[in-house]
Structure 1
Amino acid sequence: MKPRQKNWIKQQYQEQVTKVRNLEQQYQEQVTKVRSLEQQYQAQLEPDSNSKIISHVRQNGSQVGDTENLTNNQQTCKQGIDTVLREMSASLAGLKVDMEYVKKDNEAKTKELDLIKQQYQEQVTKVRSLEEQYQVQEEELITIKAMAKITENHVYALKREGEVKRVAFSASLLDLGSNTFGPFNTFTTLVFRNVVTNIGNAYNRNSGFFVAPVKGAYHFEFYICGPGSPSHLVSAVLVRNGEHIFIATETQPSHLAAAGNAATLLLEVGDVVFIRQYENSRISDSQNRHTTFSGHLLFTM
């Protein structure tokens, strides 16, 4: 039931109650008026009053004639009172009829209101039942979506696994020209920008990081070259997730110095492999591509 309809029913009910109370008040006023007239009538019939009237008549004239006039006056007053009483009785009867009508109408309104309340409660129960059904269906939908997501992820993983079984890359330090890096006072990541091969896109030429796309055994090789110096090494290290694995280093006082190393690593998905230049070392590269970093997936686990 709408709030507006409920307010209208309450307003109608209050109007009927007010109407009944007004009729009761009018009824009481009429009863009071009738009682007042009856008291006046009784006062006219009392002996003391008759004696006073007769004495007054004797002082002003004949006793017989005046007595007859008094009797006539009493009869006229009684007839007037009877007429008023009949009118009042008719009015009271009408009021009683109106009150009965209002009472019946009020009872009908009450029954209608009770019926509306019952229908409202039935609708509330039905709505709650629908809400419970909706909640159950929503939970089932969430479960189905979760299962579908798991299935989708599984399919994607299978597809990805089929793709990532082919992983290989190879890159040199410089893509153009020649340059020497270092010496630095701390370890520095080498970024191999000239990417020759990057099957599976596991190597990032902007960061120098290789990120394992699938769990498996990987093989890595790196070679470095730099100018000989009595005070600076040519040195770099293969790193997995911040852990130094294998180092390649060479020192000689002049000309070029070169070194290299290789490792086979078991990697989890997301493991990071890269090359760090040792502190206080120098590494060079040119169009001859002396400094390189390569790796490939041997097999998945």
Structure 2
Amino acid sequence: MRMKSVVSLLVLLHCCLSGAQVHKDRDGQTCQPDIHTVLREMSTMMAEQRVELRHTKTELGAMEARLRASESRLTASESLVEELKVQLKSKVEELSKMNEGHTGPFNTGITLVYRNIYSNIGNAYNPTTGIFTAPVRGLYLFRFYIYGWGESSVATSAVLHKNGHHIAIAHADHSSGGINSSNGVSLLLEVGDVIYMHLWAGRKIYDNESHHSTFSGHLLFTM
């Protein structure tokens, strides 16, 4: 910026001196350039440029502040997303399958997901969610068996749900030793009705490679 001002000053001086020389050649008189006027003009120009530079710096500072604020919000959002991913992964692992050993007790009820599939004709049972969806209207038979180890403070139980409603329960409660229970029911289902096993909050169920706890269902006939 300063170099530009100096060049401008030199150009102005050159023009003035050139004009003075031409004037002398024609009239025989000498033109003395007003160097003070030129310097004042240059000083004014430089002052204006300094003001513009300050405004530019102020605008850049404001833009940098907004950028830092945006980066902070983005970082906070990314941290929240990662935290939610961890929580979701933990919840999915908790809900997605019955591991060997006890499942439960939990603070909230969960859908039991049976991972050992013996047959799933028509893929009406979803091994990821643990939900059976009726493919046709008809009468279906469902049976379920549960097993657990007795504990005075936690009972072993599982509930058959239809479209979110309690239908039947298998329940066992003993202070020690192996305990088991079973139940079954025939249900008229419409297309799209869902059936699943539900573990209540504060309850548990046990399973291992011997497959003590099972859930099954099949169509008796269409209607």
TM-score (norm 2): 0.55
> Residue deviations 1:105-144, cap 9 Å, x none?
xxxxxxxxxxxxxxxxxxxxxxxxxxxxxxxxxxxxxxxx
Counterpart pick for 1:186 among 108, 125, 129: 108
CA distance in 1, matches of 2:110, 2:123: 23
Counterpart pick for 1:288 among 191, 210, 215: 210
Q: Give the Å deviation of 1:282.
A: 1.3
- Does the CA contact (< 8 Å) of 1:235 and 1:249 recur in 2? yes
Q: Residue type matched to 1:189 in 2?
A: T
Instruction: Point out the structure with max Rg over C-alpha.
Output: 1
Unaligned runs of 5+ in 1: 1-172
Matches within 5 A, 1:217-296: 217-296=139-218
Q: Residue type matched to 2:165 in 1?
A: E
Q: Give the Å deviation of 1:179.
A: 2.0
Higher relative CO (Cα under 8 Å, sequence separation at least 6) belongs to: 2
Answer 1 or 2: which has greater strand percent. Answer: 2
Q: Which residue of 1 aligns with 2:131?
A: 209
> Residue deviations 1:39-98, cap 9 Å, x none?
xxxxxxxxxxxxxxxxxxxxxxxxxxxxxxxxxxxxxxxxxxxxxxxxxxxxxxxxxxxx
CA distance in 2, matches of 1:178, 1:276: 18
CA distance in 2, matches of 1:286, 1:207: 20
Q: Which residue of 2 aligns with 1:195?
A: 117
Runs of 4+ with >4 A deviation = none
Q: Give the Å deviation of 1:189.
A: 0.6
CA distance in 2, matches of 1:228, 1:271: 34
- Does the CA contact (< 8 Å) of 1:218 and 1:264 recur in 2? yes
CA distance in 2, matches of 1:278, 1:264: 22
Answer 1 or 2: which has greater helix percent. Answer: 1
CA distance in 2, matches of 1:213, 1:249: 29
CA distance in 2, matches of 1:285, 1:291: 6
Q: Give the Å deviation of 1:281.
A: 1.0
CA distance in 2, matches of 1:189, 1:247: 14
Q: Percent identity?
A: 50
Q: Give the Å deviation of 1:255.
A: 1.2
- Does the CA contact (< 8 Å) of 1:190 and 1:275 recur in 2? yes
Q: Residue type matched to 1:283 in 2?
A: I
**What RMSD over aligned residues (CA atoms) do the two structures have, in Å?**
1.2
Q: Give the Å deviation of 1:178.
A: 1.9
Q: Give the Å deviation of 1:200.
A: 1.4
> Residue deviations 1:202-223, cap 9 Å, x none?
0111000000000000000011
CA distance in 1, matches of 2:108, 2:171: 16
Q: Residue type matched to 1:272 in 2?
A: V
Q: Which residue of 2 aligns with 1:103?
A: none
CA distance in 1, matches of 2:100, 2:133: 27
Q: Residue type matched to 1:205 in 2?
A: P
Q: Which residue of 2 aligns with 1:151?
A: none
- Does the CA contact (< 8 Å) of 1:227 and 1:282 recur in 2? no
Matches within 5 A, 1:1-301: 174=98, 178-301=100-223
CA distance in 1, matches of 2:189, 2:133: 9
Q: Give the Å deviation of 1:264.
A: 0.3
Q: Residue type matched to 2:117 in 1?
A: V
Q: Residue type matched to 2:206 in 1?
A: S
CA distance in 2, matches of 1:178, 1:270: 31
Unaligned runs of 5+ in 2: 1-96
